[in-house]
Structure 1
Amino acid sequence: MQRILISGASVAGPVLAYWLRRYGFEPTVVERTPALRHGLGGHAVDLFGSGVEVARRMELWAQIHEARTQTTTMSVERHGKRPVTVDIDRLSAGISDRHVEILRGELTKLLYEATRSDVEYVFGDSIATLDDDGDGVDVTFEHAAPRRFDLVIGADGMHSTVRRLVFGPEEAVRRHLGGYLAVYSMPDLFALQDRMLVHVSVDRMVSTYGVHQTGQARAAFLFRTATELPYDYRDREQQRRIVADAFGEYGWTVPRLLEHLAAADDFYFDAISQITLDSWQRGRVGLVGDAGFCPGPAIGGGTSLAAVTAYVLAGELAAARSDLPSGLRNYERKVREFVDLSRAAAPKVMKSVIPGSATAVRLVPWATAMLVRLPTPVQKLVWAQNGVGKALGSLPLPNYSDLIRTP
């Protein structure tokens, strides 16, 4: 049985492991996060179109739908203006018949639970070195003993260790889009339950929404800067200071949100950047999801992209079972247009999510409210013409069911 090592246990990694196991491979997933921390926190993410179909084929759709955020209304506010209330259910229906919003941590836990019984997981460890000799890959780890695999896949996010070891430093392939995202859990100060509060201003957006599973709330901050900020992506205290400095004088309810910044144990912060590699495979090493082609956190449909590309990668490896490097090449050809469309759309989405002018600030709540009032078929037409909508609908899922070897 061919052994495949997957680095990363968020979305792409477990989806890939699930299908590889069904096709008769022996996948191992290594994840830097300790087991007790795995699946905690994270912002709300979306599964669209083909991403939902992947969940259906994994027989996880009912569980994912049950775990959805259940946010029904959104109140959009601006300094000195009356709030505009938006019906999220109606907006979601206009986006797609196949769409769900779920907290990343919830999705990660569901994917792990679906694979843990027949996939080996190694938590609290990371790859240290990779040596591809053409017939296999010798791998050393930070803690575990060395092992040899037939293939190694990096599904370890925008700051991928596998990509750095095989494809070079992140700085050479990262395109910063000018924005930043921070998210953390906190008490539900405003009794939000199924509501979301959003406040927009020039180059700033703040939101807080209820989490029905825990009775808590999430606070989310997006902002843009004229120049890229220097920071260490592993230094959480430095990142907390960046958020506090960016929003310290903001007003609205932000002072109350920031009171809980220091105590949040699931704090997440990162630049809104893209990974722009020309190729996602080299010999017996490949990349999938954000590790290979991050379109931009929170703006490019990265979660659906990760699920769909992981599904295709597993299928193409199964189809080329005797020649795994050719399976990597075939996977790259099949998903390239899908990936390119998502990356092209993301910068435009960021301009609407984080308004860059006073005019844009005035238009955001008005345009959102107007979209919701349109008939559902018209909403779907508008979404289909949107860059992300086009991207997420551009790759019908191939059928690899004839390759399944295990029940």
Structure 2
Amino acid sequence: MRNRSVLISGASIAGPALAYWLDRYGFDVTVIEKAPALRPGGQAIDFKGRTHFAVLEQMGILDEIKQRQTGTTDTVLFDHDGKQVGVISGDFTGGDVEILRGDLADILYQRTSARCSYLFGDSISRLTETADGIEVEFEHADPRTFDLVFGADGIHSRVRKLAFGPERDFVKHLGHYYCVAGASPWTGNASKERIVAHGHNAPGRYAVCGGPKAQQFYVFASPALDYSRDDDAAQRRIVEEAYAEVRWEVPRMLAELPEFDDFYLDSISQVRMNGRYTKGRVALIGDAAYGNTLGGFGTGLAVVGAYVLAGELALADGDYTVAFARYDETMKRYTKLAGNSNAGRFMAPKTARGIKLRNWFLGSRLFTLMMKYADKAANNIDLRDYPTLVASAATR
């Protein structure tokens, strides 16, 4: 299958994970990424349970992830007078192992860059499917034809837009936005010591920081906003205006905000594809297919999805019509339980009464049951042993 050429759009997590498996099964892989280089740092992301760990072990990267993992962060909540009112356990917001997004992207890139082609600073502008493949036009590079194209380009996927239709048809705004500012202070903590961050709620507002000049995290209620995702200054003003009247440590945080080069703002949204992540010669993976912002399953879904998609293609000897149908069916079942959460509503209740009820819930038995439900959802799939099955098929 080495002659089958595939293009993957996106070089964060899902894209390089898919590249790893497709290259292993003999596909000729090109990865395109809009950013000029890999993005370092970022939020801590996590894996939990036997399903995630089984795939990471198959890829041979679990030990390195553990070596570069961050600590587990508990968030202590305070009212505007500085009185402690609750704790959000890091066991809930994190997983069994956490790592910075940029560190995981680097691990995956190092495992694939020698055998897969990476094209940074470019993006897809047009897809035209023919009987023999997909003709791809780029913003900068010359056009090329591939056998298959994969969208691993996030919740605002360009591939999904070109192949399936406009974003508004598939992405639902869940009523909140989130912002991460500043480089993470929680790197290289392989001992998994408990780290404490401080947080505060006002109605429809949630703010967290690790201390002066440390990374900041915001969640705030808002209808869909009209702004350019390339206009950094406008996005910073949105955060400043949303928190202009919030007390506690927020005035200090806002004063520090202009000092941070690392800044990211986006809506809390959910991708709804109705279990159809493929169309013709195009397949979606990761947040492009089943994204649910801050839902706690995104990275695990991306890595498991890459394993399933590549494995099904290898078992079908590259017959995408068969493989894509199996991928759709498998991931539809797996994402069903994992895709119903709304982190914005939980972190930033819109009323003072809602905040009090959430804080009570954090210390209740119901919260413990919810954590068990989350663990069940993360492992709600029986994975096929694709490497063994593919190897067996190749010897027949």
Q: Compute the TM-score of the two structures, normalised by the length of structure 2.
A: 0.88
Relative to 1, partners in 2 of residues 1:233 and 1:391: Cα closer, same or farther, differing over 3 Å?
A: farther
277 and 384 in structure 1: CA distance in 2 versus 1, 3 angstrom threshold: same
Tell me, in whole angstroms, the C-alpha distance in 2 between the residues paired with 1:131 and 1:239. 34
Cα distance, 1:235–1:51 mapped onto 2, change above 3 Å: farther
Paired residue total = 381
Question: Aligned letter for 2:210?
Answer: Y
What do the CA deviations read for 1:307-352 (whole angstroms, capped 9, x no partner)?
A: 1111111111111124123211210111102222222x223x4332
Between the aligned partners of 1:64 and 1:281, the Cα distance in structure 2 is 30
Distance 1:280 1:321 in 2: 20
- The aligned counterpart of 1:394 is 380
Aligned residue among 338, 341, 349 for 1:346:
341
Letter in 2 for 1:176: H
Q: Distance in 2 between matches of 1:63 and 1:370?
A: 36
Q: Distance in 2 between the 1:52 and 1:270 partners?
A: 29
Q: Which residue of 1 aligns with 2:189?
A: none
- Cα displacement (A) at 1:366: 4.2
Deviation at 1:384, TM superposition (A): 2.4
Quote the residue 1:112 is aligned against: 109
Which of 310, 314, 329 aligns to 2:310? It is 314
Deviation at 1:291, TM superposition (A): 0.9
8 A Cα contact 2:44 2:98, kept in partner: yes
Bigger shift: residues 70-79 or 102-111: 70-79
- CA distance in structure 2 between the aligned counterparts of 1:282 and 1:102, rounded to whole angstroms: 33
Quick check: 1:126 aligned with 2:123? Answer: yes
Q: Runs of 5+ in structure 2 lacking a partner?
A: 186-193
Task: State the one-letter code of the partner of 1:34.
Answer: P
Q: Is the 8 A contact 1:95 1:383 kept in 2?
A: no
Q: Is residue 2:282 matched to residue 1:285? A: yes
Residue 104 of structure 1, CA deviation? 1.6
RMSD over equivalenced CA pairs, Å: 2.8
Taking the aligned partners of 1:404 and 1:76, their CA distance within structure 2 comes to: 52
Task: Determine helix, strand or coil for the equivalent of 1:30.
Answer: strand
Secondary structure class of the residue paired with 1:122: strand
Q: CA-to-partner distance for each residue in 1:123-149, whole Å, 9 max, x for gaps?
A: 111111111103211112111122111
Which runs of 5 or more structure 1 residues have no equivalent in the other structure? Answer: none
CA deviations over 1:189-237 (Å, ceiling 9, x no partner)? xxxx932112122211111238xxxx97311100112x32222223222
TM-score (norm 1): 0.86
Q: Does residue 69 of structure 2 align to residue 75 of structure 1? A: no
Contact 1:41 1:267 in 2 (8 A): no
Q: CA deviation at 1:86?
A: 4.9
- Decide which moves more: 125-134 or 104-113: 104-113
Shift in alpha-carbon separation, 1:161–1:87, aligned structure 2, 3 A: closer
Q: Distance in 1 between matches of 2:296 and 2:383?
A: 19
Shift of 1:118: 1.7
- Would the aligned equivalents of 1:43 and 1:218 in 2 still touch at CA under 8 Å? no
Aligned-partner SS, 2:312: helix
Give the ranges of 4+ consecutive aligned residues of structure 1 lying more than 4 Å apart after TM superposition: 84-88
Asked if residue 9 in structure 1 is aligned to residue 11 in structure 2, the reply is: yes
Distance in 1 separating the partners of 2:261 and 2:99: 20
Once the two structures are TM-superposed, the CA of residue 265 in structure 1 deviates from its matched residue by 2.4
Distance 2:278 2:322 in 1: 10
* 1:300 positional shift: 4.5
Distance 1:253 1:352 in 2: 21
Match of 1:156 in 2: 153
Amino acid at match of 2:314: A
Residue equivalent to 2:46: 46
The 1-side partners of 2:385 and 2:65 are apart by 22
CA distance in 2, matches of 1:20, 1:350: 35
What are the residue-to-residue correspondences of 1:4-403 with 2, within 5 Å? 4-35=6-37, 38-49=38-49, 50-80=51-81, 82-83=83-84, 86=87, 88=89, 92=91, 99-185=96-182, 194-209=195-210, 217-225=214-222, 227-278=223-274, 279-295=276-292, 297-343=293-339, 345-347=340-342, 349-369=343-363, 379=368, 382-385=370-373, 388-402=374-388, 403=390
TM-superposed deviation, 1:369: 4.5
Per-residue displacement from partner, 1:71-117 (whole Å, max 9, x unpaired)? 454322122352257595xx52x899x72222222222222122222
Cα offset, 1:55, TM superposition: 1.8
Percent identity for Structure 1 against Structure 2 = 39
Secondary structure class of the residue paired with 1:260: helix
Cα deviation, residue 53, structure 1: 2.7
Deviations 1:53-76 (A, max 9, x none): 322221111221222221454322
